[in-house]
Chain A
Amino acid sequence: MGDDRTWATSRFRRAFIGSLIGLAVVAIAPFFLDIYLTSILIRTLFLAAVVMTVDIIWGWVGILTFGQSAFFGIGAYACGLVFTHYGFGPGWALGALAIGLIAAALVAGATGWLAFFHGSSPLYASIMTLALPIILTQVIFSAGTFTGSSSGLSGFPTYYWSLEVWLWIAGVFLVLTTAGGWLLVRSDFGRVMIAIRENELRCAYLGIPVSRIKTALMIAAAIVTAAAGFGYAAFSNVVAPELAGFQLGTEFLIWTALGGRGTLFGPVVAAIGIETTSSWLSGTLPFLWQLLIGVVFVTVIVLLPRGFAPLCTGLWRYVRPKSRPFVLERTLALDSDSRLGQRASIDTPPLLIEQLSRRYGSLHVLTDVTMTARASQLLGIIGPNGAGKTTLMRCISDGNERSDGMVKINGNDIGRASPHKVVEHGVGRSFQNTSLFDSLTIAECLMLARYRLDGAQLFRNKTNLALSQPALDILSATGLDQRLTEQTKNLSHGMKRGLELAMVLASEPSVLLLDEPTAGLTHAERAVIGKVLSRLTREYALCIVLIEHDLDFVREISDRVVVLHQGEILMEGSVDEVVSSELVKSVYAGHQVEAAE
């Protein structure tokens, strides 16, 4: 089972068999359906492919998008406009399709640039996707006779193939795009998508270019959607502003939510089922049907946020308890090309901070902090609560955080770089609270940490994880290496801490920022971590900056200590100097600092 190739082929075999079944259904379907139902189904299948992309963007990556209809409209109008105004024929058709796809990709890229940046809120991204179809609809309105304004374009020349042919085209399109989507979400890259959904900030600090990934997915989804829109328009021979409108965009969301977001097949089935039924019923009871959908939708959002699909899979497991979900086994290996510690040099200090300040309005959290941390050195930062220790970490690892001053990592000025860029310079940061990815396994978390170095395969899974020796040491010391397929939400606090540290080390930093790595740990666990940290400085020449409250722990492992107090460096020196200093004692005991100065 462990072999890379068998796994990959088994996944591909499953996708292949699934696609064959789907294609077979599509192939025979026209012979069992009447004309009316077939023509409804053709449109529905195109829409279902769009809903599949909405599910990837919303269900898997967590971006609530109202704007997918805009890309659908772009594809549809590419068809309608070219065929109406310019010409018709195979060359024109291919050209129009290409124009539609390129236009959709460009618009998606621009939207991504606007909507996704470090620090943008999920709500803001949703607003951008909401603005998109609204603006596009207005553009269509304002183009007058060219776009047919509010009545759209109809009766343009198109391919009047038989309904069977159209159903086959739509069906094949849906089956192939869904199979591609399925392979994508099951792949290693799919794990990265889930990680972004669950903890975007943590991803950024692992060096994953979150915004770029989101934008790339938007573009890919836009291309598939525009192709669907093109097919829809070519078949129905009508394009109208509604195809690009915000209401269709929300309908995609409704179908996705009802089918079950993050399940891929659920939304596809829901789209086909609901849209076919509503076209079917549109003659007899249109408003009642819409009312029913609205009521069911609200109920599902409130009571059943994961939609109907989990109910079906739950039922399936109840019937066949043995069919457990399928967990990929991964094996650990030593990364022989590990570059951990090889960046260290004596001449350029790994971390150089000059006159760094951080203000929140009139509140000065850090003032003129200047310090240098060297390779092979463990620098402890101590100070009472509210001294600005964590803020300092944040200013080092995110270029947008500081108000003034300069931070250089391995000689590179970080400027205003966002966290994932700072990681590229060699910073690895662990957090005060263990913020991991609940539904991912330990192995998947480690893979995420390696994303910057190894990337993630788009449609496949890798089964071996090459890690540097210290990361492997931590995993075996905490027993994590025995539980690689365990979801992280089931881990104890100590194990989470261990995993956190292993993940940071797996990303092969040269400057390691650790924010209270031993908080809440037992004495034994603390000793293990202390040993690993000392070894990292001695054998791997890492530069470690450690925030710690436990003075004994700091004394044991630190080479040098900086004392922060009220946002300023109060003292800097060897461990013994600091620990025996009256000044530090007075700060910790809460006496007036001025008196000691």
Chain B
Amino acid sequence: MAVLALDILTTAGILFVVSSGLLIILGVMKLINFAHGAFLTVGGYTAYSVSAAGYSPWLSIPAAAIFGFVGGLVVERLIVRPLYDRPLDAILATWGLGIVIGQLITLGFGRGVQFVPTPLAGTTELLGVDYSAYRLVVAIVAVLLVIAMSALLKLTRFGLNARAVIMDETLARGLGIDSTRVRAWTFGIGAALACAAGALITPLLSVDPNMGLPWLVNSFMLVLISGVSFPSLFVASLILGGAQVVVSTYANPILGGMTIVVIAALVLRINPKGFSRG
């Protein structure tokens, strides 16, 4: 039982960390970034490169974040900005970008599966069971991230501008907020979060050119049912991630793999707004 509870908690943490980059982009820019999976992969390969170069694995997360931020700004300028008023096309263009990134990684690193050393090996005793220490770290990071992102949106100038753009972009522009810049920064932050998340989760998994893809659909579903708020994304991760763990444990892992998609699709059919605002 304790293992199940910890599994649910850490799975929710992983899902939250992986989805948060997608959430901020959807929330502020009303745009679904289908290159999200590829950004996760880039983060994974950054972690791989950092540890292959002999640096501490802990460094890989900030390195991936910086790399993602800069890359995100470039992508926003070249691909996303011309598509603001064509949101469905933006889905396709970012998906195409994902293909390009995946192929570039394949050309650079090969198709094979690589492994990244864990910064924190071994287990820790919690609630009377031995549990993977690194998974617990990821869960803690998730909680810190909820607080940090909420603080970013509530307490900073950027957050104020971003919230103004979320509510009414035309009005925000009328008030002198440079919404183009807000969008560029948002995409940068979203990409940074995605890459950092990729680097964070790689020690739990392996690295290959398609590693981001399975995460894309789940995080996409989670983000859609949680609206624009980070706390509700956390709740969604907890509930749907919990359901996934329960189904995987008691039924079978393959059915567990589709739990999030099925539940999210049904929730959206009943209430198109998902968990946000009731």
Q: Which residues of A contact B (CB under 8 A)?
A: 64, 114, 119-124, 126-128, 130-131, 134-135, 138-139, 141-142, 246, 250, 253-254, 257, 287-288, 290-291, 293-295, 297-298, 301-303, 305
Q: Can you give 26 A-B contacts (C-beta < 8 A)?
A: A64-B92, A120-B272, A122-B88, A126-B88, A127-B268, A131-B217, A131-B261, A134-B258, A135-B258, A138-B255, A142-B252, A254-B96, A287-B103, A287-B106, A287-B107, A291-B103, A294-B99, A294-B103, A297-B93, A297-B99, A298-B79, A298-B96, A301-B93, A302-B83, A302-B93, A305-B86
User: What residues of B have a CB within 8 angstroms of the CB of A246 in the complex?
Assistant: 217
Determine whether B243 belongs to the interface, using a CB cutoff of 8 Å to chain A.
no
- Whether A291 contacts B255 by the Cβ 8 Å rule is no
Considering only residues 246-278 of chain B, those with a C-beta below 8 Å from chain A are 252, 254-255, 257-258, 261-262, 264-265, 268-269, 272
Task: For the complex, give the distance between the alpha carbons of A298 and B103 in Å.
Answer: 14
Task: For the complex, give the distance between the alpha carbons of A256 and B229 in Å.
Answer: 35
| A126-B91, A131-B265, A138-B255 given; A302·B79 CB < 8 A | yes
In order of increasing CB-CB distance, the 5 nearest A-B pairs are A294-B99, A291-B103, A294-B100, A298-B96, A297-B96
Determine whether B87 belongs to the interface, using a CB cutoff of 8 Å to chain A.
yes
Distance (whole angstroms) from the CB of A559 to the closest CB of chain B: 41
- Whether A123 contacts B87 by the Cβ 8 Å rule is yes
5 extra interchain contacts, Cβ-Cβ under 8 A, other than A121-B272, A141-B254, A301-B93? A126-B91, A131-B262, A250-B95, A291-B103, A295-B96
User: What residues of B have a CB within 8 angstroms of the CB of A126 in the complex?
Assistant: 88, 91
- Whether B261 contacts A135 by the Cβ 8 Å rule is yes
- Whether A288 contacts B92 by the Cβ 8 Å rule is no
- Whether A301 contacts B96 by the Cβ 8 Å rule is yes
Q: Which of A122, A134, A139 contacts B217 (CB 8 A)?
A: A134
Closest to A250 in B: B95
User: What residues of B have a CB within 8 angstroms of the CB of A293 in the complex?
Assistant: 99
- Whether B103 contacts A301 by the Cβ 8 Å rule is no
Q: How many B residues have CB within 8 A of the partner chain?
A: 36
Task: For the complex, give the distance between the alpha carbons of A134 and B103 in Å.
Answer: 22
Task: For the complex, give the distance between the alpha carbons of A139 and B100 in Å.
Answer: 29
- Whether B99 contacts A301 by the Cβ 8 Å rule is no
Determine whether B82 belongs to the interface, using a CB cutoff of 8 Å to chain A.
yes
Q: Which of B96, B217, B254, B272 contacts A142 (CB 8 A)?
A: B254
* B73-110 interface code vs A (CB 8 A; 1 in, 0 out): 00000010011001111011101110110011011000
Please indicate which of the listed interface residues A128, A142, A288 has the most CB atoms of chain B within 10 Å of its own CB: A142
- Whether B261 contacts A134 by the Cβ 8 Å rule is yes
Q: Which of A128, A138, A288 contacts B258 (CB 8 A)?
A: A138
User: What residues of B have a CB within 8 angstroms of the CB of A253 in the complex?
Assistant: 92
Q: Which of A122, A127, A297 contacts B224 (CB 8 A)?
A: A127
Closest to A292 in B: B103
Task: For the complex, give the distance between the alpha carbons of A290 and B106 in Å.
Answer: 11
Q: Which of A127, A134, A291, A301 contacts B83 (CB 8 A)?
A: A301
User: What residues of B have a CB within 8 angstroms of the CB of A305 in the complex?
Assistant: 86, 89
User: What residues of B have a CB within 8 angstroms of the CB of A295 in the complex?
Assistant: 96, 100
Closest to B254 in A: A142
User: What residues of A have a CB within 8 angstroms of the CB of B258 in the complex?
Assistant: 134-135, 138-139
Q: Which of B82, B107, B264, B268 contacts A302 (CB 8 A)?
A: B82
Closest to A251 in B: B99
Task: For the complex, give the distance between the alpha carbons of A287 and B104 in Å.
Answer: 8
Distance (whole angstroms) from the CB of A564 to the closest CB of chain B: 26
- Whether A142 contacts B255 by the Cβ 8 Å rule is yes
User: What residues of B have a CB within 8 angstroms of the CB of A134 in the complex?
Assistant: 217, 258, 261
- Whether A138 contacts B93 by the Cβ 8 Å rule is no
- Whether B107 contacts A288 by the Cβ 8 Å rule is yes
User: What residues of A have a CB within 8 angstroms of the CB of B86 in the complex?
Assistant: 305
User: What residues of B have a CB within 8 angstroms of the CB of A291 in the complex?
Assistant: 99-100, 103-104, 107
Determine whether B191 belongs to the interface, using a CB cutoff of 8 Å to chain A.
no
Task: For the complex, give the distance between the alpha carbons of A302 and B80 in Å.
Answer: 8
| A131-B265, A291-B100, A295-B100 given; A64·B91 CB < 8 A | yes
Task: For the complex, give the distance between the alpha carbons of A246 and B220 in Å.
Answer: 14
Considering only residues 213-234 of chain B, those with a C-beta below 8 Å from chain A are 217, 220-221, 224
Distance (whole angstroms) from the CB of A112 to the closest CB of chain B: 12
Determine whether B32 belongs to the interface, using a CB cutoff of 8 Å to chain A.
yes
User: What residues of B have a CB within 8 angstroms of the CB of A123 in the complex?
Assistant: 32, 87-88
User: What residues of A have a CB within 8 angstroms of the CB of B252 in the complex?
Assistant: 142
Please indicate which of the listed interface residues B82, B83, B92 has the most CB atoms of chain A within 10 Å of its own CB: B92
Distance (whole angstroms) from the CB of A425 to the closest CB of chain B: 26
User: What residues of B have a CB within 8 angstroms of the CB of A135 in the complex?
Assistant: 258, 261-262
Task: For the complex, give the distance between the alpha carbons of A126 and B96 in Å.
Answer: 17
Distance (whole angstroms) from the CB of B16 to the closest CB of chain A: 20
User: What residues of B have a CB within 8 angstroms of the CB of A142 in the complex?
Assistant: 252, 254-255
- Whether B97 contacts A298 by the Cβ 8 Å rule is yes
Closest to B86 in A: A305
Task: For the complex, give the distance between the alpha carbons of A122 and B32 in Å.
Answer: 13
User: What residues of A have a CB within 8 angstroms of the CB of B217 in the complex?
Assistant: 130-131, 134, 246
User: What residues of A have a CB within 8 angstroms of the CB of B107 in the complex?
Assistant: 287-288, 291
Task: For the complex, give the distance between the alpha carbons of A141 and B214 in Å.
Answer: 15
User: What residues of B have a CB within 8 angstroms of the CB of A127 in the complex?
Assistant: 220-221, 224, 265, 268
- Whether A294 contacts B88 by the Cβ 8 Å rule is no
Please indicate which of the listed interface residues B96, B217, B269 has the most CB atoms of chain A within 10 Å of its own CB: B96
Task: For the complex, give the distance between the alpha carbons of A122 and B86 in Å.
Answer: 12
Q: Which of A64, A141, A290 contacts B103 (CB 8 A)?
A: A290
Distance (whole angstroms) from the CB of A129 to the closest CB of chain B: 11
- Whether A298 contacts B82 by the Cβ 8 Å rule is no
Closest to A297 in B: B96
Distance (whole angstroms) from the CB of A242 to the closest CB of chain B: 12
- Whether A298 contacts B100 by the Cβ 8 Å rule is yes
Closest to A142 in B: B254
User: What residues of A have a CB within 8 angstroms of the CB of B224 in the complex?
Assistant: 127
Closest to A254 in B: B96
Closest to A247 in B: B213
- Whether B93 contacts A298 by the Cβ 8 Å rule is yes
User: What residues of A have a CB within 8 angstroms of the CB of B32 in the complex?
Assistant: 123
Distance (whole angstroms) from the CB of A333 to the closest CB of chain B: 40
User: What residues of A have a CB within 8 angstroms of the CB of B99 in the complex?
Assistant: 290-291, 293-294, 297
Distance (whole angstroms) from the CB of A283 to the closest CB of chain B: 15
User: What residues of A have a CB within 8 angstroms of the CB of B95 in the complex?
Assistant: 250
Please indicate which of the listed interface residues B79, B99, B268 has the most CB atoms of chain A within 10 Å of its own CB: B99
Task: For the complex, give the distance between the alpha carbons of A305 and B255 in Å.
Answer: 38
Q: Which of A124, A138, A139, A290 contacts B272 (CB 8 A)?
A: A124
Closest to A63 in B: B88
User: What residues of B have a CB within 8 angstroms of the CB of A114 in the complex?
Assistant: 265, 269
Distance (whole angstroms) from the CB of B19 to the closest CB of chain A: 15
- Whether B89 contacts A301 by the Cβ 8 Å rule is yes
Closest to A299 in B: B96
User: What residues of B have a CB within 8 angstroms of the CB of A302 in the complex?
Assistant: 79, 82-83, 93
Considering only residues 53-86 of chain B, those with a C-beta below 8 Å from chain A are 79, 82-83, 86
- Whether A128 contacts B265 by the Cβ 8 Å rule is yes
Task: For the complex, give the distance between the alpha carbons of A135 and B254 in Å.
Answer: 10
Distance (whole angstroms) from the CB of A580 to the closest CB of chain B: 40
Task: For the complex, give the distance between the alpha carbons of A122 and B91 in Å.
Answer: 12
Closest to A257 in B: B92
Closest to B258 in A: A138
User: What residues of B have a CB within 8 angstroms of the CB of A130 in the complex?
Assistant: 217, 220
Task: For the complex, give the distance between the alpha carbons of A250 and B98 in Å.
Answer: 12
Task: For the complex, give the distance between the alpha carbons of A246 and B269 in Å.
Answer: 21
User: What residues of A have a CB within 8 angstroms of the CB of B220 in the complex?
Assistant: 127, 130
Closest to A138 in B: B258
Task: For the complex, give the distance between the alpha carbons of A96 and B104 in Å.
Answer: 42
Task: For the complex, give the distance between the alpha carbons of A254 and B93 in Å.
Answer: 10
Task: For the complex, give the distance between the alpha carbons of A262 and B258 in Å.
Answer: 33
